[in-house]
Amino acid sequence: MVETVNPSQAAELLASPGLEIVDVRDDREWSAGGHIPGARHIPLEILRADPDAVLARDHAIMFVCAKGVRSLAAAKLAERLGYGRIYSLEGGTKEWARAGLPLIIEHESAAA
């Protein structure tokens, strides 16, 4: 069963061992929009192509995107494939940031 969690619930889950955070946004969003510390970047199209190649079955998984739509789609896919504890971050990184929780933003270096 997919459990939708708000940012404060997600932050509590992050404190527990064995939770994998999977960010399913595209490359540009991952770099420019910031991502949750400790998240692993697996764009949704890559996840859909071969979920078993990129997901671990021995961990709880929290899926994240920008607003919560793609993460819920990813979570439902994992659920259909028999993965265990599955979470989707409601409101995505936008709500995470709005709640004052940290995001890592990668700055691209300018070409000389």
Q: Where does 2-98 sit in CATH, by number?
A: 3.40.250.10
Taking the chain, what is the end-to-end CA distance rounded to the nearest angstrom?
A: 50
Q: What mean pLDDT value characterizes the chain?
A: 92
How many CB atoms lie under 10 A from the CB of residue 2?
A: 17
What are the pLDDT digits (tens) for 44-97? 999 999 999 999 998 999 999 999 999 999 999 999 999 989 999 999 999 999
**What radius of gyration do the chain's Cα atoms show?**
14
**Burial of 51: CB neighbours in 10 Å, binned 0-12, 13-18, 19+:** middle
Instruction: Look at residues 78, 38, 77 and name the one whose alpha carbon lies nearest to residue 60.
Output: 78
pLDDT at 16: 82
At which residue do the structure tokens 């070409």 appear? Answer: 111
